[in-house]
Amino acid sequence: MTTDKTTLGRRSFLKAALLAGGGMILHFNWPGAGAMASEPRPAADTLIELNSYIKIYPNGDILLFNPNPEFGQNVKTSLPMILAEELDVAWEKVTVEQADFFPERYGRQFTGGSQSVRQAWPVLRTAGATARQMLLIAASEKWAVPLSEMHTEAGVIFHKKSDQKITYGEIASQAARIPVPKDVKLKDVADFKIIGSSKQNVELDNIVTGKPLFTSDYKQEGMLIAMIVHPPAFGQEITAFDDTAVRQMPGIKDVFLIEPLAKDYTRNYFDTMSFGSLAVVVGTSTWEVMQAKKKLQLELQTASKRKNKDTLQLESTAGHYADMDRYAKIPGEVKRKDGDPDAAFKNAARIIERTYTAPFLVHNTMEPVSCFAHVTADQAELYAPIQAPEVITTTLVARLGLPKEKIKIKLARMGGGFGLRAYGHHLVEAAVISQKLNAPVKLMYTREDEATYGIYRPTYSATYRAALDENNQLIGFHVKAGGIPESPLHENRFPAGAVDNYLAESWAIDSDITIGAFRAPRSNFMASAEQSFLDELAVEMKKDPIDFRLELLKRAKERPVGQRNDYDASRYAGVLQLLKEKASLLKKTDGTGRGIAAYFCHNTYAAALVDIGVKNNEPYVVQAIASVDCGIVVNQDAAVNMAEGAVIDGIGNALYGEQLFADGVPQKSNFNTYRIIRMSECPKHIEVHFVQNQENPTGMGEPVFPPMFGAVANALFHHTGKRYYNQPFMKQYLAHGAQG
């Protein structure tokens, strides 16, 4: 049993008796959140509106609030499971609601970086355990029996000696008046009943029956529909427009220009706005506005913000790769240096050098960007799919001229995110449009708008070199990685710490093309390049690919080089050993190639295996395995679903994903040109296995994604005999043929 201190004290809780027959509502604050008012609300209808974690009704039903935005990773189920476990209630008695954005009560309401469960774990456990303890104390006082003689089970408190029992609902009013305990006992992992089980997505019935869940479903009386028109090329701005034809079209109310951000505004990390000005078409229906915007004629001027544009090729794909190739050949910024890598390479019997590249990628979420906003002189109300509401609120305050407390954001379920909706440009745009019109507005992006707006996964390049001695042993390792407009390098990750002489260099090239987080940012490329190179290195050294990695990890564990290695070698080795065990049980289909890869990111270790064959003269993944060490798995079903999704997403992006540019203009704007994996191309058999331990939970949404790229590349080699260095691999396969 773990004891946890409720160190935030009484002001971190909000407790109130429901006047209509009892009940209890308890709020537990996230670390770093503002202090709570300690006075209970006076009326039951007011309490129903509170954004608190736990509400107990007189009949024993439990209402739990999910604080974090939901975009399909199932936090709306998994986070309440943590609460319910420590509260010790029957899951069948629980209902879950999505909390609105309310940082004063919930603090960190951010979904991203695979951090939701990891960050919430200690806080929600303590919140549930504290509520349970207060219920126990209330029952102890009611019965005048020692607290130590009582126990709870499924929302009922028992005192065996006196043969008494009482439900949470019956004692909740009294519990609401109990002082918040300073110390609470958390359950032992062995006693978990809800955590570690499989719970159906609490939103499943609404999803499959098509109930309104997303912003695109939202309607309000008097609401107008708005759409943006942005410049066709990055590095351009709109100066004027001809809207003569647009204004004559049915349903069109207005056409105007907006500046999403003020020119003198200092942007924060998530204030990614691709263009300084946007044209807006407003009307009464989505279809009418969609047709009208096609008729708008723009006047444009060059507004490039590149610092080193004089040394760059044009913003075209060919120019990008030419520039990256040039930067890869000159010294980069040294980020880490162990031993004497120069001497190791100088004295090497053999040097192996390979360069890997990857293109810009588009998020392609199921639901294109949208946002509802109603801004008046007094307040702003938004209904929005947003991963980082706290960050964008600061931007809205600056842009709208309203105080923070007057900006209300209701968190909509997102039809996909994976980084794109961490950037709140759609909230700012919708709010500015609504403020200008003094009317409620729903901003809708088309698929073409989203695919050509930016916030892409950057294009990258990485060059790896290995120095081998006369005994074919690895004595030096060098990685130099960069991209447009950022570097993907993680200098302290494996195999750093496993090689005596190690060098990591970085470089970046400026660009007008806007980028952003894309499911496992930077890691999704570095895992592909690193694991492809290690696989090739193992073959050159005549070693089994898994055994070679395990050898390096053994060295990193027993005699680590350097002090900044950001991975646990034992846990890293654990997922590879589990993968090796499961691979031995998976029958390999004749005529297929098997590839493996492993990677550490977002505090989680993941390994992947794929078997690739050829069908209709194109490679496809027949079957796949993922092994994962994410600590305690809160919801088995959700974790497996996320891993399976990452397997398919990784395969699809590795084989097909690519955004191209010509003179700054994106060349792919919809699925007729931007290729993604199809249902018929998904592996028919996927296995997901978890390392069993009692480590605190870590991320699941992203970590399985990166090793899939390397596993696909390595499987292609073991099937075709040709190495694949440039994503998308299908393009390379078709261009050069299976045998190169």
Residue-wise pLDDT tens digits, 131-142: 999 999 999 999
Instruction: Kindly tell me the number of DSSP H helices and DSSP E strands found in the chain.
Output: 19, 30
Query: Over the stretch 632-662, which tens digit does the pLDDT of each residue have?
Result: 999 999 999 999 999 999 999 999 999 999 9
| pLDDT for res 8 | 37
| pLDDT for res 644 | 98
Tokens matching residue 47: 């309490």
Average of per-residue pLDDT across 21-29: 49
The verdict on whether omega for the bond into residue 545 sits within 30 degrees of 0, i.e. cis, is no
Query: Over the stretch 199-222, which tens digit does the pLDDT of each residue have?
Result: 999 999 998 999 989 999 999 999
Q: How far is CA 218 from the centre of its chain?
A: 24
* Contact yes or no for 110/68 (Cβ under 8 A): yes
Helix (H) or strand (E) segment spanning residue 424: none
Is 70 exceeded by the pLDDT of residue 7? no
Average of per-residue pLDDT across 77-88: 95
53 versus 576: the higher-pLDDT residue is 576
Q: Are residues 373 and 491 in the same domain?
A: no
CA atoms within 13 A on the CB side of 58: 8
CA distance 647 to 257: 42
Among residues 141, 166, 195, the one where a domain terminates is 195
Helix (H) or strand (E) segment spanning residue 64: strand 62-66
* Contact yes or no for 276/479 (Cβ under 8 A): no
Average of per-residue pLDDT across 478-500: 98
* Contact yes or no for 704/646 (Cβ under 8 A): yes
Is 70 exceeded by the pLDDT of residue 170? yes
In a domain, 474, yes or no: yes
In a domain, 312, yes or no: no
For Cα atoms 708, 711, 717, give the angle at the middle one, nearest 5 degrees.
145
Q: Are residues 185 and 79 in the same domain?
A: yes
Neighbour order of strands in the sheet with 13-17: 13-17, 24-28, 54-56, 62-66, 94-98
In a domain, 571, yes or no: yes
Q: Are residues 499 and 641 in the same domain?
A: yes
Q: Are residues 52 and 123 in the same domain?
A: yes
Domain hosting residue 35, numbered range: 2-195
When pLDDT is cut at 50, 70 and 90, the band that residue 2 belongs to is low
In a domain, 208, yes or no: no
Is 50 exceeded by the pLDDT of residue 41? no
From residue 163, alpha-carbon distances to 149, 157, 158, 159, 713 in Å are 11, 11, 8, 6, 65
CA distance 561 to 336: 12
Average of per-residue pLDDT across 587-593: 92
List the beta bridge partners of residue 507. Answer: 482
Q: Are residues 329 and 288 in the same domain?
A: no
Average of per-residue pLDDT across 453-479: 97
When pLDDT is cut at 50, 70 and 90, the band that residue 119 belongs to is confident
Average of per-residue pLDDT across 230-252: 96
CATH number at residue 45: 3.30.365.10
Q: Are residues 133 and 232 in the same domain?
A: no
Among residues 444, 464, 481, the one where a domain terminates is 444
In a domain, 585, yes or no: yes
* Contact yes or no for 453/362 (Cβ under 8 A): no
| pLDDT for res 165 | 96
**Angle between the 523-540 and 545-558 helix axes, to the nearest 10 degrees?**
110
| pLDDT for res 230 | 97
When pLDDT is cut at 50, 70 and 90, the band that residue 177 belongs to is confident
The 3-state DSSP composition of the chain as helix, strand, coil percent (nearest 5) reads: 35, 25, 40
**Angle between the 523-540 and 636-655 helix axes, to the nearest 10 degrees?**
70
Q: Are residues 291 and 333 in the same domain?
A: no
| pLDDT for res 180 | 82
Q: Are residues 377 and 357 in the same domain?
A: no
Is 60 exceeded by the pLDDT of residue 43? no
Q: Are residues 336 and 396 in the same domain?
A: no
Q: How far is CA 689 from the centre of its chain?
A: 21
Q: Are residues 346 and 405 in the same domain?
A: no
Number of domains in the chain: 3
| pLDDT for res 151 | 96
| pLDDT for res 3 | 60
In a domain, 668, yes or no: yes
In a domain, 724, yes or no: yes
Among residues 389, 422, 444, the one where a domain terminates is 444
739 versus 426: the higher-pLDDT residue is 426
Is 70 exceeded by the pLDDT of residue 250? yes
| pLDDT for res 15 | 38
Q: Are residues 270 and 170 in the same domain?
A: no
When pLDDT is cut at 50, 70 and 90, the band that residue 5 belongs to is low
* Contact yes or no for 426/371 (Cβ under 8 A): yes
* Contact yes or no for 408/100 (Cβ under 8 A): yes
| pLDDT for res 51 | 27
Q: For all residues of the chain together, what is the average pLDDT? A: 90
Q: Are residues 493 and 641 in the same domain?
A: yes
Q: State whether the Cα torsion 239-244-246-250 is positive or negative.
A: positive
In a domain, 210, yes or no: no
